[in-house]
Amino acid sequence: MISFLRIEKFVNALAEKVNWVASAAVAFIMFLTVADVIGRLFGRPVPGTFELVGFVGAVIISFALPYTSVRNGHIAVDVLMMRMPWLVRVIVYAVNAFVSMVLFGIIAWQSVIYANSLMASGEVSPTLQMPVYPFIYGVAVGCGMLCVVLFIEFLRQFRGAEIE
């Protein structure tokens, strides 16, 4: 039987890998924007820059969410929570992880449905005529991965572990 700790380490490592994809995408957007600005100086802007930045930006955000959650990097108000008894904190953190998991599960599920409909309709971007659905699937993957991270966090809290 695989231990909970091994599963948690695997999920955390996977979240880190997904975050590296998001980091590479940020670099891509940066280079694309620089190329577009330089191109505009010479009257040759990069076509579709606005579209690509929007599409890739959505994927960046969703791919960065799991790792940010693993590292507890989200904005949190701990002033009040740290004054609460240990059991209250564990319950609040567990409920928060569960509700967040359900919310992002719905987002991932609806993203898949939306991407399927875009793929079936053949929707493409206006300038580049590039299919839109792969980016929506990317959002679904990032949100799905966040659900797994939140499920692990929920189990940690359910087992009585304290957030660092």
Amino acid identity for residue 148 in this structure: V
Closest CA to 65 of 16, 3, 30, 13: 16
What pLDDT was estimated at residue 164?
A: 46
Mean pLDDT over residues 60-78, rounded? 87
pLDDT at 121 over 90: yes
| pLDDT over 80 (residue 115) | yes
Using 50, 70 and 90 to split pLDDT, how confident is the model at 161?
low
- Residue of 18, 26, 2, 21 whose CA lies nearest to 149: 18
Per-residue pLDDT band for 145 (boundaries 50, 70, 90) equals very high
What pLDDT was estimated at residue 34?
96
Positive or negative: CA dihedral 88, 92, 95, 97: negative
Alpha helices by DSSP H, 42-162: 49-70, 78-81, 86-121, 133-158
pTM across the whole model: 0.88
Domain boundaries, the chain: 4-158
- Single-letter code of the amino acid located at 119: M
Query: Is the pLDDT score of 129 beyond 50?
Result: yes
Q: What contacts 60, CB < 8 A, 6 or more positions away?
A: 22, 25, 26, 29
pLDDT band, very low/low/confident/very high, at 12 (cuts 50, 70, 90): very high
Q: Which has the minimum average pLDDT: 41-45, 104-108, 154-158?
A: 154-158
State how far the Cα of 133 lies from the Cα of 27, in Å rounded to an integer.
Answer: 22
Residue 55 pLDDT > 90:
yes
